[in-house]
Amino acid sequence: MAEHRVYFAGHPQPVVVSTGTLISEAARLAGLDILQPCGGQGRCGRCAVLILAGTVRRRSTLRLSAEDVAQGFALACQTVVEGDCRVEIPPQEKVERRLTTDRTVAEVTPPVGYNFDLDQTIHRVHLTLPPPSMDDQTDDLSRLLTALRQQAGFTSVTVPLPMLRKMGGVLREGDWEVTAILDVRERFEGKLLEEWLIDLLPGHKPQDDPLWGAAIDIGTTTVTVWLVNLLNGEVVAQASEYNGQIARGEDVISRIVYASKDNGGEELRHLVLTTINDLLKTVCERYNRRKEEWQPPVTPQEIVKATVAGNSTMIHLFLGIPASSIRLSPFVTAVNHVPLLSGEESGLAIHPLGVVDCLPGVASYVGADITAGVYACGMDDTTRLTLFMDVGTNGEIVLGSSDWLVTCACSAGPAFEGAGVYCGMRATRGAIEEVWINGETYEPTYRVIGGGKPRGICGSGLISLLAEMFMTGVIDKGGNLNTSLPTPRIRQGEQGLEYVVAWAEETQTGKDITITHVDIDNLLRAKGAIYAGYNVLADSVGVPLEMIEQMIIGGSFGKYINVEKAIQIGLLPDIPWERFQFLGNTSVRGAYYALLDHHARERIKEIASRMTYIELSADNSFYEAFMSALFLPHTDLERFPSVAQALRSKAPVD
Amino acid sequence: MAEHRVYFAGHPQPVVVSTGTLISEAARLAGLDILQPCGGQGRCGRCAVLILAGTVRRRSTLRLSAEDVAQGFALACQTVVEGDCRVEIPPQEKVERRLTTDRTVAEVTPPVGYNFDLDQTIHRVHLTLPPPSMDDQTDDLSRLLTALRQQAGFTSVTVPLPMLRKMGGVLREGDWEVTAILDVRERFEGKLLEEWLIDLLPGHKPQDDPLWGAAIDIGTTTVTVWLVNLLNGEVVAQASEYNGQIARGEDVISRIVYASKDNGGEELRHLVLTTINDLLKTVCERYNRRKEEWQPPVTPQEIVKATVAGNSTMIHLFLGIPASSIRLSPFVTAVNHVPLLSGEESGLAIHPLGVVDCLPGVASYVGADITAGVYACGMDDTTRLTLFMDVGTNGEIVLGSSDWLVTCACSAGPAFEGAGVYCGMRATRGAIEEVWINGETYEPTYRVIGGGKPRGICGSGLISLLAEMFMTGVIDKGGNLNTSLPTPRIRQGEQGLEYVVAWAEETQTGKDITITHVDIDNLLRAKGAIYAGYNVLADSVGVPLEMIEQMIIGGSFGKYINVEKAIQIGLLPDIPWERFQFLGNTSVRGAYYALLDHHARERIKEIASRMTYIELSADNSFYEAFMSALFLPHTDLERFPSVAQALRSKAPVD
C-alpha cells in the first residue's frame, strides 16, 4: 500500500501514513489533538480540518455544507489520505464559528430605502405662531391648531388633555416657536386620517435630533426590546430578559389559569410591565453609555412610539384583558386587532402620550408574534413555497407564499424550552447546549453555555442529546433506552430508566444530570406535535413537504438549533440544509419593521386577515399524523432519507 | 271733610276716618299692626294690602307691578281713603311671596318635544350575537363590532381599553345578548361621526330603565349639580355646595395666583373635584330616597354623560390646565373649546368611560357659563333686544338678539358676593338679605336669611342697604355718609365713617354690624363697573339702553336681587320692572339643555363663535363710563327717571 506524507500547518515535519489512513489518525501520529466528541462517527463536525493541498477522500460530509467542502473543509474522522497532503487544524472556535455560519442570525439593518418622511407615522414639525395681543385674543389651542393646519397641513388633530395642560407654558417658553410631535393614523378602516399630538416642545428642535421608538416582543419565556432611532431606522440597543410572569406558570395555559384567579390578571400584567419597563431602561442606558458625548442621552419617557408583538395570550395579559376564552373551546380571543393605545393606557413607561401599537393576531394560538414573523421573513412576498416555524413555548407553523398562507399552532408545550424535563433548564449560563455521544463507548461529550460545569440541559441540548442517543443506539426508534448496552450510564433511576449525561462530580449542582424515560416521551410528544402540524398544513393545501423551497425558523430557541440533529429526531422535515434559514427573533423583527414603516404595518394587518387558521384540535387528520410522528425520526423512515442514509453509514464503509 | 268707613277683613267693626287718611293710619286706629320697615315712605312694599272694594287713591305704586295694582294691591303707607272701603291685610309671608313673584325662578322642565332617540347623543342598543364555535372562531371584538354595524348601524365604533377588558365576560354572562351604551359624536368639525362605547351590559336591559346624566355648573363660589334622566329629560335631583376652592381665594384672580404656586393647580383641581364628586353623591342619594321602591337606585358611576359649564378660569382649574395667561395681558385662555373627555380623564366620579363635555367659552372672562346662559335664556333666538347679565363673582354682560351678540366682562369683584366688604358674607343663614331704613328716624329694619340674629350682610342685603341709605339721605349721591343726621348710627368707627345696621346685642357675633365708607366705595366701584359695561356694549352697537326690551338676570345671586333697589343704586338700568326676568342659575340650565339635546349643544357652540367680545381694559370709553357710574345712581340722573321720581316723591304730596 502506498505511503504518503501528511504535513500539518505549523509543523515542519510530515507524518508518513499509508493510503486510507484517517486524517484524525495522522494527526494523532503527529502528536496533535483533534477533538472527536462523537467518537469519530462523522456526526458532530467538530473535527473539521482544512485541506490546503493534496489528495484526500471524504467518506462523509454529513456535517459540512457544499460551500464548506468547496473551501476545503473535511471531517478528520471521515476523511482518508490518498496522496501527499497539507492540512490545517483550525482553532476550535474557528471550527465552531464556521460550522454555525448558516445559523448566524441576519444582522438588523433598516429596511432598504427607509424614508422617515414618507414611511413613518410619527411626524415632527416646526411651528411659528403669531403671539396673542389685545387685538387677537384667540385661545392658545385655536392658535396652535391653526398653525398645525396652515404650516403642516394637519387638519384633524387630537390634542389630549395632558397636552392642553402643557401647551400654554411651552408656547410661551418657546416664545411662540414650538416643535410638535404627532402620530398620523388612519381611523375607522381608513375613513379618516387623524393626527394625534404626542408632544409639544419649546423652540425649534434640530431636525437631526433622534426620535425614539421601541420594538417589543413579549415572549412567554423571554421579552425583547429594541431601541430604535425612528429618523434613520437604526437599532441602537437591544436587550432581553425573562418574562417576569414565568414564576406564575411556564406556558400560556398555566398563565391563563393563573390570570383567572383573584387579581391574578392584574398581577401578571404588572409582572410583564415591570419586565418591559426595566428593559426599556436597560436599552436607554446601553445607548447612553455607547453614544457620542455630544449626543443627547435618552430616557424611556422620550420613546414616542412602541410596537408590541407577542402571542395572543401574552398580548391579552399585557393589556389586562381576560384570556380565559383562549383556553376553553371554541378557543377564541377577546381581541385580535387591538386599537392604538397611549403609553399611559398601556402601562408602558414610554412617553405617556406616545403610541402603543399592538400588532394583530389571527387566532388564540396564532398571534401577533406570527404575523410579525411572517412579515419579517418575507414569506408573504415570495413565490417560493415557504414553511415558517416559530419555536417557542408553543410551535406555530405557517406554510405558504405570496399566494396563500395557512397556519396552525401545535401545543408542543415547553419541553424544548427546558421545562417539563427533569434536568431541563432555559438556554442560559450552565446549560448543556450540545451533546455528542461516542458510538462505541456511549460516553457523552457536551458543550456548556458560558463554559464551566453544567447545571442542566436546555432545548438545543435536548434535541442534540435525543439525536445522539438515537443515532448511537442508546435509544431505539420508539425512544426506549437500550439496557443491554455495556455502559453504566443507562440505569434504573428514581424516575425509571435514564441515561446519565454528566456525573455528579462534573456538575455545578453535585448531582447527576440525566435524561429519563419520561423526559424522552415528553420530547417525542413535543416534536411529534410539531411534525404533525407540518403534515396537516401541507395536506390541507395538497403540497408534499419535500416541495418546501425554504424553511425559516424563528424564535430565540431556533437560533441555536442544530439542523442535522433536529432532522434526526424528526423535529424538522428532511430537506437539504441550505433551504433552512434562521432569523432568530422574527417577532421583534416584525415589530421593528412595523415600528418604522406604516406600509409594513399595513401588510402585517393584511397578513393577519388573509392567513387561514387551521384549528388542529378540530382536525381529524392531526391525531393520526401525531401518532405517526411519535417515533424517531418517524414511523415512515422514507420521509427522512438523510437520516436513513446516516443510519446506514454508521459503520465506516471503505 | 267727608268721613268714610273702612272695613278690615275679619273685623266686623269699621273705623271711621276722614278723606285723605292713609290706610296705614286707619289700620292703626283699628288696632291692627301693619309692618312699615321703610318708615312709611312707600319704598319697601311690605305694607301692601288688598283693596277688596271701595275708593282709595294710590299716591305711589313704586313697589307694585301693574299686575299687582290690577289685582287690588296698594301700599298702606301710600294710599289714602277717598270713600268707604273694604281692605284685607294679607299675612306677611303672602305679601312677600306676592312681591317676589316676578323674581321666582322658572321651573325646570324638559325642553319641549325632547326626543331621546333623535336629540340625545347617548344611545342604548340591544344586540344579539351569534356565539362562537369551532367553525367560527372570530374574536369577541370583531363579533361585537359586526353586531353594532349590522344591528345598530354604528360603523365607526371606538372601544376603549377598559371595555376590551370587560367585553368577553359580559358577552358570556349575557349568553351573547348584550346592551351597549354609546355616545355618538362628531369628530374634527363634523368630518366623522364616531361612536364611543361607554358600556356593555349582559342581557337586554329594559328600554325604560333610566340612563343618567349630570348637568354641572362650576361657579367661583357655588357649584351646582343636576341629576337628569336622559330618557325623558327629567331633573330628578339638584344640589349645590360652595366650591371647595374658596378657602384658596375668593375670586378668580386669587385662584389663578394660587394655582401658579407649586402644586397649587393640582390642589385646586382636587378641591373642586371633591366638591363636584360629593355633589354627585348627594344628588344620587336624594333621588334614591325619593324614588319608588321598584325603581333601581343610582350611583354616580352610572352617570354616562356630564356637561360642565363655568367661567373660563373654573373650567381651566377643573381640568388642571394652567390659567395664568387669563390673568396677564393680553388675557388669553389656554382653551375655549375643550375636546370631549372621559369620566376618568376628567377626574369626575361618573362612569369612567362616560362623556364629559365642557361647554365652550368665548374669552378669558366670558366663559362657558355665559354661552350656556345665553342659550338658556333664549336671547340668541329672539328678535327682542336683550341684555343678559350673569351676576356672580364677576359680572358678565351680553347684549343682542338673534342677529348679533356682543359681550364683555366687568371685573366687578366679589363685593356683591359679600367679599371685600367688612361685614359682608355669602347669602347663607344669618345673612341680612334685605334692609329698610325709616326715612325719619334712620332706624333700619332687616330680614335675615333663615330668621334669627344676623351675622353679616350678603349681596342682596348690601344692594338693599345702599339703596335705602341713598333714598333716605344717610349717604349722598357720592356715597358719603351724612354726619349731620340726628342718629347715633352714623359714627366714626375704626375703619372711618360707618353706619350701624345692627347693634351688638342684636347680632349672633355680639359685635355691631356696620357698613363702612370703604365698603360703600367698593360697592360703588363694583356697580359702576357693571353699569359701565352696559354702556360700552350699548355704545359699541349704537343702541340706547332704554331700548332694551328684556333684561335677563342669571346667577344664583340674581335670584334674590331687589330690582327696585338695584335700579336705585344704578346697578341695573332704569327700565320698566316687567322687562326684568330672573332665571336663577342660567349656567347649569344651559348645561342641562346641552346635556339633553345635541342641537342645543351645537347652538351653544355657535353662540360662542358668533359672540363679539369687547375687552373693556382695551376700550377707551370704558374708563369714562366707569367714572360717571361711580355715583348713585349715576352722574346723569336723567338716565334713571324712576329714581329721580322716587327722590322727588319722598315728601308726601297731597
Q: What is the DSSP letter of B25?
A: H
Instruction: Report the SS3 class of residue B199.
Output: strand
Mutate to test the interface with A, among B137, B157, B163 (most CBs of A within 10 A): B137
Please check the confidence at residue A618 and state whether its pLDDT lies above 90: no
Closest approach of A64 to chain B, Cα-based (Å): 46
Burial class (CB within 10 angstroms; exposed 0-12, middle 13-18, buried 19+) of B541: middle
Query: pLDDT grade, residue B95 (50/70/90)?
Result: low
Residue A105 is predicted with a pLDDT of 44
Residue B100 is predicted with a pLDDT of 37
More reliable by pLDDT, A319 or B55: A319
> CA A319 from chain center: how many Å?
23
Q: Which stretch, A98-102, A419-423, B581-585, has highest mean pLDDT?
A: B581-585
> CA B4 from chain center: how many Å?
48
Residues 5-64 (A) with a CB less than 8 A from some CB of B: none
Query: pLDDT grade, residue B559 (50/70/90)?
Result: low
Residues 556-615 (B) with a CB less than 8 A from some CB of A: 613, 615
* Chain B contact set for A336 (CB, 8 A): 139, 141-142
- The contacts of residue B222 (CB under 8 Å, 6+ apart) are B240, B241, B242, B243, B556
Contact B156 A187 (CB under 8 A): yes
Contact A168 B192 (CB under 8 A): no
The lowest-confidence range among A231-245, A473-487, B25-39 is: B25-39
C-alpha cell at A147: 398653525
Mutate to test the interface with A, among B170, B182, B184, B335 (most CBs of A within 10 A): B335
Query: pLDDT grade, residue A190 (50/70/90)?
Result: confident
**pLDDT tens digits along B269-286:** 999 999 999 999 999 999
* Average pLDDT for chain A: 90
* CA quadruple A625, A631, A633, A634: dihedral, nearest 10: -40
Contact B161 A319 (CB under 8 A): yes
**pLDDT tens digits along B298-334:** 999 999 999 999 999 999 999 999 999 999 999 999 9
- Give the CA angle between residues A327, A399, A621 to the nearest 5°: 60
Cα-based distances in Å from A233 to A117, A199, A206, A236, A279: 12, 21, 18, 9, 19
Cell 416584525 sits on residue: A590
Q: Which stretch, A271-275, A636-640, B432-436, B576-580, has highest mean pLDDT?
A: A271-275
**pLDDT tens digits along B213-231:** 999 999 988 899 999 999 9
Contact A341 B161 (CB under 8 A): yes
Query: pLDDT grade, residue B192 (50/70/90)?
Result: confident
Contact B335 A169 (CB under 8 A): no
Closest approach of A348 to chain B, Cα-based (Å): 14
Phi/psi of residue B529, each to 5°? -65, -40
Phi-psi region of A521 (alpha: psi -120 to 50; beta: other; left: phi over 0): alpha
Residue A555 is predicted with a pLDDT of 77
The stretch B558-564 carries a mean pLDDT of 76
Contact A137 B161 (CB under 8 A): no
The closest of A271, A279, A224, A267 to A244, measured between CA atoms, is A271
The closest of A516, A532, A368, A383 to A456, measured between CA atoms, is A516
Find residue A17's DSSP bridge partners: A4
Query: pLDDT grade, residue B375 (50/70/90)?
Result: very high
Computed from CA positions of residues B41, B44, B47, B48, in that sequence, does the dihedral angle turn out positive or negative? Answer: positive
Closest residue in chain A to residue B333, using alpha carbons only: A139
Burial class (CB within 10 angstroms; exposed 0-12, middle 13-18, buried 19+) of A297: exposed
Number of H helices, E strands in chain B: 19, 27
Query: pLDDT grade, residue B98 (50/70/90)?
Result: very low
The closest of B261, B285, B535 to B397, measured between CA atoms, is B535
Residue A461 is predicted with a pLDDT of 92
Please check the confidence at residue A394 and state whether its pLDDT lies above 70: yes
Please check the confidence at residue B426 and state whether its pLDDT lies above 80: no
The closest of A434, A445, A433, A466 to A39, measured between CA atoms, is A445
Closest approach of B460 to chain A, Cα-based (Å): 34
Phi/psi of residue B376, each to 5°? -60, -35
> Can you tell me the distance from the alpha carbon of A198 to that of A355, in angstroms, rounded to the nearest whole number?
8
Q: What is the DSSP letter of B426?
A: -
Query: pLDDT grade, residue A578 (50/70/90)?
Result: confident
Residue B620 is predicted with a pLDDT of 84
Residue B330 is predicted with a pLDDT of 93
* Average pLDDT for chain B: 90
Phi/psi of residue A307, each to 5°? -110, 140
Note whether A133 contacts B: Cβ–Cβ < 8 A. Answer: yes
Please check the confidence at residue B461 and state whether its pLDDT lies above 50: yes
Closest residue in chain A to residue B169, using alpha carbons only: A322
Q: Are strands B3-8 and B79-88 parallel, antiparallel or unpaired?
A: parallel
Phi-psi region of A507 (alpha: psi -120 to 50; beta: other; left: phi over 0): beta
Read off the pTM.
0.84
Q: Please give the ipTM for the structure prediction.
A: 0.85
**pLDDT tens digits along A440-499:** 899 999 988 888 899 999 888 999 999 999 999 999 999 999 999 999 999 999 889 999
Query: Residue type for A372, please?
Result: A
> Can you tell me the distance from the alpha carbon of A653 to that of B13, in angstroms, rounded to the nearest whole number?
149
> Can you tell me the distance from the alpha carbon of A306 to that of A324, in angstroms, rounded to the nearest whole number?
26
Note whether A191 contacts B: Cβ–Cβ < 8 A. Answer: yes
Phi/psi of residue A571, each to 5°? -80, -35
Note whether B314 contacts A: Cβ–Cβ < 8 A. Answer: no
Note whether A192 contacts B: Cβ–Cβ < 8 A. Answer: yes
Closest approach of B331 to chain A, Cα-based (Å): 7
End-to-end CA distance of chain A: give it in Å, rounded.
15
Contact A337 B142 (CB under 8 A): yes
- The contacts of residue A584 (CB under 8 Å, 6+ apart) are A105, A106, A554, A555, A556, A558, A559
Query: pLDDT grade, residue B102 (50/70/90)?
Result: very low
Cα-based distances in Å from B301 to B306, B344, B588: 11, 11, 20
Instruction: Count CB neighbours of A18 within 10 A.
Output: 11
* Chain A contact set for B321 (CB, 8 A): 164-165, 168
